[in-house]
Structure 1
């Protein structure tokens, strides 16, 4: 795989994390760049690891991984998205609720895992190609770091415009990503 194909693959794999991080940024109270970078690092590290895991699994049990990864991503994203939607509707009784300054580490890790399962499936496919899996995984992780950090900063500006609806919209985006993963599996 040449450099341009690797870069295209890397940024293609980062789009789910980008969309999710926009929603995450929109639900925070004016997230600082350090919080955006923290989110980008978490998403980037996990997005680096999942193709490596997929590559290893591809060497062992390709069929099992390909049969179940879309369902796992779908369930995780629907769960997280549903939780965000419920939280978006709670506290709408006129009370002012405190908007968090940052997301919990494990919430970000779970979201990052859910949005990076497609990278694991790509890693399975890469097991059958003559590619440098370390360089490819690092490219995917770096692209995700950039896109997730950028997404958080975009969400910072969208959040005040949407208010509490930002969390609802973020949940809908996560559910939409899960549905798209499931749809692309069955359609393609």
Structure 2
């Protein structure tokens, strides 16, 4: 096997793990909401799909818009995470047992998009360097799906330890990641 192919595969794997760590960390926060195993699987798959679609879109338009769009994607992702974090914190102080961010429908889509926006920015950069598209999107999707699943499962277990404050803690985690993206 050619050393340049091994080097590119190693680089893409490291990038996929780095992007997956974001999904893992944010999955910890989202896992603080009471989720069923079926919901965890759906969320993980959706995030995996978005981690394939977003870099593909980014790679497609990478040569023209890298600097401009990369900053916009980070800004939008940060704002979405901050909003989701505030919603979770607000929900934890409401008297209703149902979370403000529903682990289905729009809530899952917003969460999945916000987690995956950084992979769009990475895709923009990779488009300039001519990375192998199929390998890149498969690695990004599979690794982020697995890491999201682990994050959601760990969050689900720790939610039982934190009780009603678990959702507030999850919201704080998402809020902090949103602020990190903005600054």
TM class by smaller structure: 0.7 to 0.9
Does 2:61 align with 1:57? yes
Q: CA deviation at 1:98?
A: 5.1
Runs of 4+ in 1 over 4 A off after TM superposition: none
Alignment of 1:31-180 (within 5 A): 31-32=36-37, 34-91=38-95, 97=97, 103-180=103-180
Most deviating of 129-138 and 38-47: 129-138
Q: Give the TM-score normalised by the residue count of structure 2.
A: 0.88
Q: CA deviation at 1:164?
A: 1.6
Mapped contact 1:10–1:143 kept (Cα < 8 A): yes
Q: Give the TM-score normalised by the residue count of structure 1.
A: 0.86
Equivalent residue for 1:186?
A: none
Does 2:8 align with 1:2? yes
Mapped contact 1:15–1:147 kept (Cα < 8 A): yes
Q: Which runs of 5+ in 1 are unaligned?
A: 184-188
State the aligned residue count.
176
Change in Cα spacing, 1:159 to 1:115, as seen in structure 2 (3 Å) is same
Q: Which runs of 5+ in 2 are unaligned?
A: 1-6
Q: Distance in 2 between matches of 1:119 and 1:67?
A: 12
* 1:39-63 Cα shifts (integer Å, max 9, x gaps): 1101100111111111122133223
Q: CA deviation at 1:88?
A: 0.8
Change in Cα spacing, 1:181 to 1:99, as seen in structure 2 (3 Å) is closer
Q: Distance in 2 between matches of 1:109 and 1:16?
A: 16
* 1:5-39 Cα shifts (integer Å, max 9, x gaps): 1111111111121112122222115x32x332211
